[in-house]
Structure 1
Amino acid sequence: MNQRIDYYKASKEAVAAMINFEKAVSAFGLEQSLLELVKLRASQINGCAYCVDLHTADAKKAGETDRRLHAVVVWREAPFFTPRERAALAWTESLTLIASTHAGDEDYAALREHFSDKEMTDLTVAIIAINGWNRLAVGFRKTPTA
């Protein structure tokens, strides 16, 4: 697959806005390990090879295990995730696939059980951010470097 454009060069202002958005998300105080799982799961759903590669590497640098990273795609069946992580992954799927899920009550109830109002809002904004990055990378065919 060939990259269509280099959006980092094409619009420095747009990418700077996304980077600032990402910096804000990182400063919210949610666990880095949780954020990486969320970023990885959204990227898997969106078919973003670049972001899957990036967030797998970032998660490993932050201490995540290969076993858990390999299981993110099947997190519902894997016993390696905490109830809080499961709630976040379900919410990630629900929002990433919002046209078909409409952010269902079951996923919201699980989220509500494990996150405060602030954390739910912060997590939702983090999911919005990674979906934005995925759309840039997939739309313009950004690929991981070998």
Structure 2
Amino acid sequence: MDKRINLGKEAPHMYDKLISLKHDMQALIKDANINEGFSHLLLLRASQINGCAFCVRLHTKDSLDAGETIERVSVLPAWRETEYFNEKERVSLELVEAICYIKDTHIPDTLYEKAKEVLTKKEILAVEWLALVINALNILAISSRLEVK
């Protein structure tokens, strides 16, 4: 199969804007005091749902490098069946998943109300922006067929 156009390399001005959004999202994560390792698990979970091999590899490594345990990384697709995640983390994972499946879920009001009970406004803001940005990055990587090394 012929290589695809690398969207980032062919339109660097657009790619730079997306990376700027990523940096702004990371600042929101930090401002909300969301643990860096867990933020990578949120990015990893969205990438798993979207089937982005490039980002799955990247965020698995980043999670581990940021101090996440292999147990939490390995059970992430089945997080609901474990006790590895606290209440805030569980709601955050659920919110990220709902955003990834927005076509089907439209982020149910019940989930949003639960998020408001468990998370601060800053945490909700950071988690939602994280989901939005990683979905865009997943689309970029998948569309360009970025090589997984």
Per the shorter chain, which TM-score range?
over 0.9
Between the aligned partners of 1:34 and 1:3, the Cα distance in structure 2 is 34
Q: Does 2:90 match 1:86? A: yes
Structure 1, unpaired ranges of 5+: none
Q: Does 2:49 match 1:45? A: yes
Shift of 1:23: 0.7
Shift of 1:3: 4.3
Q: Return 111-120 or 94-103, whichever deviates more.
A: 111-120
Partner of 2:25: 25
Partner of 1:118: 122
Give 1:1-146 correspondences, 5 Å limit: 3-28=3-28, 29=30, 30-145=34-149
Tell me how large the CA RMSD over aligned residues is. Answer: 1.4
Query: Runs ≥4 in structure 1, deviation > 4 angstroms?
Result: none
Give 1:24's aligned amino acid.
D
Question: CA offsets per residue over residues 12-44 of structure 1, 9 Å max, x none?
Answer: 111111111111111122321221111011000
Query: Number of aligned pairs?
Result: 145
Secondary structure at the counterpart of residue 27 of structure 1: helix
Give 1:56's aligned amino acid.
T
Secondary structure at the counterpart of residue 117 of structure 2: helix
Between the aligned partners of 2:3 and 2:53, the Cα distance in structure 1 is 12
Structure 2, unpaired ranges of 5+: none
Question: CA offsets per residue over residues 34-55 of structure 1, 9 Å max, x none?
Answer: 2111101100000000000000
Work out whether residues 3 and 142 of structure 1, in 8 Å CA contact, stay in contact via their aligned partners in 2: no
- CA gap 1:109/1:3 in 2 versus in 1, 3 angstroms: farther
Between the aligned partners of 1:110 and 1:10, the Cα distance in structure 2 is 42
Work out whether residues 37 and 64 of structure 2, in 8 Å CA contact, stay in contact via their aligned partners in 1: no
- CA gap 1:106/1:63 in 2 versus in 1, 3 angstroms: same
**Scaled by the length of structure 1, what TM-score is found?**
0.93
Question: CA offsets per residue over residues 86-133 of structure 1, 9 Å max, x none?
Answer: 000000011110010010123213311221122211211111000000
Q: Return 10-19 or 30-39, whichever deviates more.
A: 30-39
Work out whether residues 84 and 114 of structure 1, in 8 Å CA contact, stay in contact via their aligned partners in 2: yes
